[in-house]
Amino acid sequence: MTGNDFKLKRQSIKFLSEFNPDAVRSTQYELACIGMINSIIAYKYPDLQTSPEELINEVKKEETNYLQPFINFFGEEKLKEMIQEQLDDIAFIDISEEETDEYGDKVRAIVWRDQIN
C-alpha cells in the first residue's frame, strides 16, 4: 500500500462509518498495522532486504513485540501477507536519512515517492 493508497483507505473510513461500523474498526486496525510494518522496515531493514517471516521472527525476539496486537487481530498468515504487500511496494519508497529528533533519538522514516512527485 503506497502513500496515496493509504490516504484513500483512510478517507474511506468516513463512508464506512455510516454503513458498516465493524468495517471501520478493521480498516483502522489495518492502517495502524501497515504503519507499524513501515516503521519496522524503516528502522530495522533500511536496506529493504527481509522476508515477512524474518521480520516477524526478529520482532518477536524483542522485549516489546509491536506486532503482537496485529497477530492477535489478523492472525500470523494475514500479517505475513500484509508485510509482503509492503515489501512488494519498495519500488515506490525511499528510506529517509537517519536524523535526531527533539528527544535525542535517532529516527528514520519511509517516504513514498507518490508523495514527493
Half-sphere exposure of 34 (CA within 13 A, CB side): 22
pTM: 0.67
Q: Which domain holds residue 12?
A: 3-116
Q: What is the mean pLDDT of each run of 10 residues along the chain (117 residues)?
A: 65 68 79 87 72 85 86 93 84 65 72 58
Count how many domains the chain has: 1
What secondary structure letter does DSSP report for 91?
G
Residues 114 and 2: their CA atoms lie apart, in Å, by: 8
Give the dihedral of Cα atoms 1, 111, 55, 11; nearest 10 deg. -30
